[in-house]
Structure 1
């Protein structure tokens, strides 16, 4: 089977904590060739055989990054969270190496701001993002929640009572609430794209997109 070119890049993952190892193993599963780096010999050793290549090295040291030939990687992920200093130094070394697409984990707003200023292309704050997601899920109305920077979200939710037994065209969710039902999933069936003729049943799951506050308004309906 031919490789999927979307996932056919050499990736360098620095730091094999929870975030780094999750990124590394998923990148490997998708088809990337992953080289993982951690300064802890025991931790690095534990991933030998599970990733394309594992190196015990301190990426905060420019000489170590040079030995890794970091400039040859198309993508890099910095998952260091235990030391902001080590994260910043490692990230700066990867920027200096000219890697064209660098992702890094930040643990504080200040950490995120400095990573951006030194040239990291994508900064993620998984703890913050997870906390926001959990807050939206706690009311029990939403089954999943993804929010974007511009106040736009995509959610999975149970259908409001007023939509059950009607088609999307009949219930007029978009005109009433300003959100779009992207798709519908019935138990035991595959996801299907929504059309005006799609009829909603009580056991369905709706995939809805739109402004966050408008989605919350729809989700508050019985």
Structure 2
């Protein structure tokens, strides 16, 4: 995999991918960033990623996956992503700082556009305003949350608690203190202090997480 742009986002991503055993080519125009990651990645080079010939010399067209972590330089982000699209790379992720940049990158041809700061802000907003322990939102208004068992479900099997029928959510996992997560069934008895993984429409899981 090639990671282009080794700032805070791209650098952290490249390091984590390398830690997981992936062979990573890291590319950045800033020699300091390249030097900082040289010992962590399979290969790390200084190059102008808006230069088609420079990318070809690095054999970037031969990669199956690419991540464009360039954020602040909009022109470089767009030109680099456009070149990757022209190369026919099957899977391209690109970082955007705002919705406008995200739309442009999608129109250029990026297969996945991420907004790390925006997404993290949304996630933290949910965590600091309620009883959620974690929150992940997907497309089509669907989310998964980690939250504690509400009072109305305490001591009951999930089937009897009617969380699913009453709130239109699904409890997919339960964790008791000192134990690991287990898959939840209608017969699973939950107690106050247990942690649940709840899936459903965003508003529905928010409602369950706000129950006392």
- For normalisation by structure 1, the TM-score amounts to 0.92
Name the structure 2 match of 1:34. 24
Instruction: Tell me how far apart the structure 2 counterparts of residues 120 and 99 of structure 1 sit (CA, whole Å).
Output: 10
Where does residue 5 of structure 1 map in the other structure?
none
Unaligned 5+ runs, structure 2: none
2:120 paired with 1:130: yes
1:161 has 2:156 as partner: no
Count of aligned residue pairs for this structure pair = 212
- Inter-partner Cα distance in structure 1 for 2:110 and 2:80: 11
Aligned-residue offset at 1:188: 2.1
| Separation (CA, whole Å) in 1 of partners of 2:76 and 2:39 | 26
What do residues 54-110 of structure 1 show as CA deviations (whole Å, max 9, x unaligned)?
011111121211111111101000001121111111111111222111000011212
User: Distance between the aligned counterparts of 1:162 and 1:174, measured in 2?
Assistant: 13
2:61 to 71, 80, 84: 71
Q: Is 1:174 matched with 2:142?
A: no
SS of the residue aligned with 2:156?
coil
CA contact (8 A) 2:130 2:210 kept: no
Q: CA RMSD in A?
A: 1.1
| TM, length-normalised to structure 2 | 0.96
Query: Per-residue CA shift, 1:143-168, capped at 9, x if unaligned?
Result: 10011120110000011011111111
| 2-structure distance, mates of 1:66, 1:196 | 56
- List gaps (5 residues or longer) in structure 1: 1-10
